[in-house]
A and B are shown apart, each in its own frame.
Chain A
Amino acid sequence: MSRVAPLLGPLLFRPLRRDRLRFALTVAGIAVGVATMAAILLANASVLASFSATVDVVAGKAGLTVLPDGPGIPEETLERLAWLRARGVTVVPAVVATAALKGGNGDVVEVLGIDPVTDPAVRDYRFTSRLDAEETTLGRLFAVFQRNSVLVPAPLAERLGLTEGSELGVFAGGAVRRLRVAGILRLEGAARAAAGSVVFADIATAQELFAREGFLDRIDLVVPGDLDEAQRSALEESVRNSLPAGVTVGRPDRRTATVDRMVRSFRVNLTALGLIALLVGTYFVYSTLSISVLRRRSDIGTVRALGASSRSVFLVFLAEGAALGVLGSLLGLVLGAGMAKAALAAVGGTATDFYLPQAAPSLALEPRALAIAFLAGLLTSILSALAPALEAAHVDPASTFRHGSVEASRRRAVKPLAIAGAFLLLLGALATRPGPVGGLPLFGFAAVFLVVAGVSLLAPFAVTTVARHGDRLAVRLLGVEARIARANLTGSLSRTAVAVAALSMGISMMVAVAVMVGSFRATVVDWVSQTLKADLFVAPEGGRSQRALGRLPEEVVTLLERVPGVASVDPFLSFEATRDGVPFTVGSGRFALVAAHGDLPMADGSDTRAVLARALSQGEAVVSEPYAVKFGVRTGDLVTLPAVDGPATLRIAGVYRDYSNDRGTITIDRALFRRLFRMDGAVSLALRLDPAISPEEGRRRILSATRDRFALRVQTNASLRDAALALFDRTFAVTYALEAVAIAVAVLGVFSTLLALVLERRREIGLLRVLGASAARVSRAVRYEAAALSALGIALGVFAGAAMGWILIHVVNKQSFGWTIRTDVPWAFLAGALALVALATLAAAGRPARLAAATDAAAVLKEE
């Protein structure tokens, strides 16, 4: 290392001082990429942490938890587990539901129905008001719990202006239920569930509120603390053997795994997009260091001639890359922490929209996420520095004054690089064939990165080919400035090709995401118009939640059928289930109605009426596309449902398109559903009106008929379609932001490269002035060079983006979420966006062009 220190001054620090602007831009480029990664990782971590925290808090001191695979745990399961008390195990039942509050902001809360006698064994409760001298927490719990009473955490109570004895309005079962606040809890223990968005009632109250009579949602088992692992496992096995079908037992943390799986595809896709933004930024490092090596060749030759080893030179340039990485990553973390809040609003919003509406993710500056973002920025910077550092180490002192020989070696590499690039593209095509790995489209991601790498390696070939064949035409149309620009492009290939590659990378990401999102949106619009054909849609009032919360009683179904002007009512009934920890939905509808209107497009184009008619007559099921992909099933296969009386095996009559969620749904006819699961009512209803009745009139009549008894959300077809598309647009808002980041960084890269090239070519620019070129001509030549870089970057970027878009649609999305998306290119948007990029690149040439025009020919030619 002592041999490296003397080189740091001449080869690193002094040149850094001279090129301050360029290095500042490079640090900025890395910082933006790292900030994007950090923001996404922090948002993801915060979302997961808030979900996991709730899971952990609710699990409390439980050593084992009994959970349903189906609609619920029959209450008689408690009797089956009665033997556990003799073993010193406390059996703690609970009901869990989600409800919207009346008042406030329509907050959504978790409702935990507990047994006040046994629950304190698993979860802690601390009241804000002092206990009396002889009182215990258990006693207080038992005393305050009466029918229709709740305990509320202090922050929630404060937000809603509640005190002990206040009334709290809750939307449950389609009605407003008034509950009495029996106590206020400190934000500790069980009250921390859902970040304090939780209320506690007794089991009977909760069962009645949410029509869960006879069922529980979990049974926590507090096992003796002196059991070793073998004894614990044996106990678990014994419990498993005592349980009815459709109910499982396991360690409490498996629920976290379920939650994690629910949001994993979404998180991974977002992280992959963030990674591309980071890669665009780290192209900067390669470009900057390559330019540095070239500019300092004579200095390198001099120090080598004085006895410095090639290893020392290598370490100096590697250190430069590391220094850029450290500075850029540190700055990126600061920026990223600031951006994380905005990212969380987008990511968290989608997560709560689609997955867990009661969760209220708050930003957690998780050290692991920050460390990963920092290391990603640093490592990619060091990796990018490797090639230039190796080149610097191999500088031949004797050849340092032969400027063109370096570029000559670059030109010799054009063909091999092009062949390598074509090979990578071929590999990328092959990588689209294999299926998902662990449910994740890893080969799909690999294909995307292979396309990016392949097109990058083709950049030098593109530059030289276009330059060679376009020279004559360009000179004829644009004059000698075009030739000067062309000569500079090919003469500085090591720099210009890298700038083209970086720009193409940013553009390809933009094109790919625009094509993917545009196609997805077009598909969803088509699907919405095919499936949302009813005139009105009714659901329980759900406050801020976009999802339907809770279930309406059967009475509502009957009531709506009798409203004058209502031609038909199709109730949708469902519950959440799991299989081997993987969540899915079991739903139902009136197949006869759906078949009559053809509201369920089949994935393979089969006739909906025929499929549903068969399902209805044969007692079969239809499954959504995400379900079919996730569980690897197709038409004709068998599925097993966790029915109340034991597993029910049904044949799959067809696979239908469903873009409302990625969880996957098995749908059966309503009558069959009610028989298998002993549930009635509806989660939502689709109503068709008589032709003479307008949707607004229909809505008015329904609200009028139900106002006194039920709180319903009634949406017209038009407003539901608008809401669905608004939800879609909100979901992809963060990807639009990522596209903009990638483009901005790439355009910065073009600016930085042009600036470096102008500074490097001062002598040549001076010579042009000596030969009689005006300042305006010199400026134009720089702008033409920028235009050529822009055009080449856009062309390569569009080509790569089209390929990546295809992969995202047909491989990554398909394997992640199971959706079939038809390709629909948003031409107008792309044309506008690419025009903006071209303009931005030309604008980026402004300063370098002005610098070139202002060159003092006499001064630069005097410098030897």
Chain B
Amino acid sequence: MGARVVVESVRKAWGLVPEAGEGAVSEALAGVSFSLEPGDFVALLGPSGCGKSTLLNLLGALDRPTSGRVLVDGHDLALLSDAGRDLYRRRTAATVFQFFNLLPTMTSLENVALPLLLDGVPPAEADERAAAALGEVGLPEKSGAFPWQLSGGQMQRVAVARALVAKPSLLLADEPTGNLDSRSGARVLDLVSDLVAGRGVTIVLATHSTEAAARAARVLRLRDGLLEA
């Protein structure tokens, strides 16, 4: 079951910009509002610097808005305690990054099992579920490989497996194909739209690629921190 997401008039400002005039601040988000129903697959489309990553950080409880609210399943993320935010990231939201962000000192299996272990799942069960997840993304034979032994596409598929293994209700994908060739990128998008969406997970895909955005059921265009009508 996917998460219900409501973003209300969210602003995110970054400190003072003197050259813009006295008191002027830089705003990554200037008042964004939208909502997602469970299972929605939405693309955030916009050029670099438009605020996509900032918005994903807010949805991932990695950051707090300057004003406005981000509600996931009715809970205001900004009001969560530190422990609550950690729990949210373990169980509700999962992220796939442009640069894969696998731990280089762990094998594929260990990388995928990590979220489960962080959540207290016994090691044997965690490894079993991680192996199954790797199988689902088509990499069962790579469980013992370290990230530097994998291609870019393979690393991203491991990252997708890691994101899915804890059965999140919200998947945040930040330019997941940005560092891949078109064929690998297409394969990753297939995984996201077929494997992930097929489970009813709510997906937010940040991208500057219209081809990638076309995979989503709905596209939200972001420019200079605001959603275009």
Residues of chain A having any CB pair with chain B under 8 Å: 402-405, 407-408, 472, 475-476, 479-480, 483-484, 487-488, 490-492, 763-764, 767-775, 777, 857-858, 861-862, 864
- Tell me whether A408 and B148 are in contact (CB under 8 A): yes
Q: Are B86 and A774 in contact (CB under 8 A)?
A: yes
Whether the pair A487, B105 counts as a contact (CB closer than 8 A) is yes
Which listed residue (A404, A770, A864) contacts B62, Cβ 8 A? A770
Q: In the complex, given contacts A402-B148, A772-B89, what are 16 additional A-B residue pairs having Cβ atoms less than 8 angstroms apart?
A: A403-B148, A404-B147, A407-B104, A475-B123, A480-B117, A483-B114, A483-B117, A490-B105, A763-B101, A767-B101, A767-B103, A768-B118, A774-B82, A774-B86, A777-B118, A861-B62
C-alpha gap A490/B101 in the complex (Å): 19
- Are the CB atoms of A773 and B63 closer together than 8 Å? no
CB nearest to A480 among chain B residues: B117
Q: Are A492 and B101 in contact (CB under 8 A)?
A: no
- Considering only residues 113-127 of chain B, those with a C-beta below 8 Å from chain A are 114-115, 117-119, 123
**B106: CB under 8 A from chain A?**
yes
Supply 19 A–B pairs (Cβ within 8 Å), ascending by A.
Answer: A472-B123, A479-B117, A487-B105, A491-B103, A491-B104, A764-B104, A767-B103, A768-B103, A769-B62, A769-B86, A769-B89, A770-B62, A770-B89, A770-B95, A771-B162, A772-B88, A772-B91, A774-B86, A862-B53
Cα A75 to Cα B99 in complex, Å, equals 97
Q: State in angstroms the CA–CA spacing of A404 and B155 once bound together.
A: 13
Contacts of A767 in B (CB 8 A): 101, 103
A residues less than 8 Å from B114 (CB atoms): 480, 483-484, 768, 771
Whether B86 contacts A772 by the Cβ 8 Å rule is yes
Q: Are B95 and A772 in contact (CB under 8 A)?
A: no
Contact residue among A472, A487, A777 (Cβ-Cβ distance under 8 Å from B103)? A487
Complex CA–CA separation, A490 to B104 (angstroms)? 11
Which A residues touch B118, using CB under 8 A?
A: 480, 768, 771-773, 777
Residues 40-82 of B at the A interface (beta carbon under 8 Å): 53, 57, 60, 62-63, 82
B35 interface residue per 8 A CB criterion? no
Q: In the bound complex, how far is the Cα of B83 from the Cα of A407, in angstroms? A: 34
Across the interface, do A771 and B82 meet the contact criterion of CB distance under 8 Å? no
CA–CA, A270 and B95, complex, Å:
60
Query: For residue A402, which residues in chain B have a CB less than 8 angstroms away from its CB?
Result: 148
Q: Counting chain B CB atoms within 10 Å of each CB, which of A402, A763, A769, A861 scores highest?
A: A861
Task: Give 7 closest A-B pairs by Cβ, nearest first.
Answer: A491-B105, A772-B90, A404-B148, A480-B117, A772-B89, A487-B105, A858-B62
Question: Measured between C-beta atoms, what is the minimum distance from A807 to chain B in Å?
Answer: 38
Residues of A within 8 A of B60 (CB): 770
| A410 → chain B closest CB, angstroms | 12
Closest residue to B117 on the A side, CB-wise? A480
Cross-chain contact A404 with B90 (CB below 8 angstroms) = no
How distant is the Cα of A528 from the Cα of B218 in the complex, in angstroms? 94
Task: Count chain A CB atoms within 10 A of each CB in B89, B95, B97 and give the residue with the most.
Answer: B89
Residue picked from B95, B97, B146, most chain A C-beta under 10 Å: B146
Closest to A493 in B: B105
The docked-state distance in angstroms from the alpha carbon of A769 to that of B117 is: 13
Contact of B99 among A408, A484, A864 (CB under 8 A): A864
Which residue of chain A has its CB nearest to the CB of B150? Answer: A404
Contacts of B62 in A (CB 8 A): 769-770, 857-858, 861
In the complex the two chains form, what is the Cα distance from A777 to B115 in whole Å?
13
In the assembled complex, B25 has its CB within 8 A of some CB on chain A: no
Total A-B contacts with CB atoms under 8 angstroms apart: 87
Contact between chains at B115 and A483 (CB < 8 Å) = no
What residues of chain A lie closer than 8 Å to B149, measured between beta carbons?
404
Q: Are A487 and B95 in contact (CB under 8 A)?
A: no
CB-CB nearest in chain A for B147:
A404
CB distance from B26 to the nearest CB of A (A): 14
CB distance from B143 to the nearest CB of A (A): 15
Which residue of the partner chain A has the closest CB to B162? A771
For the complex, give the distance between the alpha carbons of A861 and B159 in Å. Answer: 15
Cβ contacts under 8 Å, A773 to chain B: 86, 118
Chain A contacts for B91, CB-based, 8 A: 772
Is the pair A491, B106 in contact by a Cβ cutoff of 8 Å?
A: yes
Residues in B with CB closer than 8 Å to A774 are 82-83, 86
B57 touches A405 (CB 8 A): no
Q: What is the chain A residue whose CB lies nearest that of B60? A: A770
Residue of B nearest to A404 (CB): B148
Tell me the bound Cα distance from A682 to B147 in angstroms.
83
Chain A residues with Cβ below 8 Å from B63 are: 858
- In the bound complex, how far is the Cα of B114 from the Cα of A768, in angstroms? 9
Given A772-B115, A774-B82, residue A405 in contact with residue B103 (CB < 8 A): no
Contact of A858 among B57, B83, B146 (CB under 8 A): B57
User: How far apart are B102's CB and chain A's nearest CB, in angstroms?
Assistant: 8
Q: A770 vs B115: C-alpha distance in the bound complex, in angstroms?
A: 10
How far apart are the CA atoms of A862 and B86 in the complex, in Å?
19
**B114 CB, nearest partner CB in chain A, Å:** 6
- CB neighbours (8 Å) of B1 from chain A are none
Nearest-Cβ distance from residue B172 to partner chain A, whole angstroms: 10
Collect the chain A residues with CB atoms within 8 Å of residue B95's CB.
770
B133 to chain A, nearest CB (A): 14
Q: Can you name the residue of chain B whose Cβ is closest to the Cβ of A406?
A: B148
Which A residues lie within 8 Å of B86 (CB)? 769, 772-774
Other-chain residue from B53, B87, B106 in contact with A487 (beta carbon distance below 8 A): B106
Contact residues in B for A858 (Cβ distance below 8 Å): 57, 62-63
Q: For residue B174, which residue of chain A has the nearest CB?
A: A861
A492 and B105 contact, CB distance less than 8 A: yes
Q: How far is the CB of A377 from chain B (nearest CB, A)?
A: 34
Most buried by B among A403, A479, A767, A768: A767
Complex alpha-carbon distance, A472 and B90, angstroms: 22
**A479, A480, A857, A862 — most chain B CB neighbours (10 Å):** A480
Query: For A408, what are the chain B residues with a Cβ–Cβ distance below 8 Å?
Result: 146, 148
A527–B83 alpha-carbon span in the complex (Å): 66
When the two chains form their complex, are residues A764 and B117 in contact, meaning their CB atoms are under 8 A apart?
Answer: no
Q: Which of A484, A771, A777, A861 has the most CB of B within 10 A?
A: A771
Q: A282–B37 Cα gap in the complex (Å)?
A: 62
Distance in Å: Cβ of A729 to nearest Cβ of chain B: 48
The docked-state distance in angstroms from the alpha carbon of A777 to that of B120 is 12
- Which chain A residue lies CB-closest to B58? A858
Q: Which residues of A contact B162 (CB under 8 A)?
A: 771
Complex CA–CA separation, A614 to B118 (angstroms) = 81
Contact B89 A771 (CB under 8 A): yes
Residues of A within 8 A of B117 (CB): 475, 479-480, 483
CA of A479 to CA of B147 in the docked complex: distance in angstroms? 23
Q: Are A405 and B101 in contact (CB under 8 A)?
A: no
Cα–Cα, bound, A29→B105 (Å): 29
Q: What residues of B have a CB within 8 angstroms of the CB of A764 in the complex? A: 103-105
Q: Which residues of B contact A483 (CB under 8 A)?
A: 106, 110, 114, 117, 123
**Please, how many angstroms separate the alpha-carbon atoms of A862 and B83 in the complex?**
23
Given contacts A487-B105, A764-B103, contact A775 B82 (CB under 8 A): yes
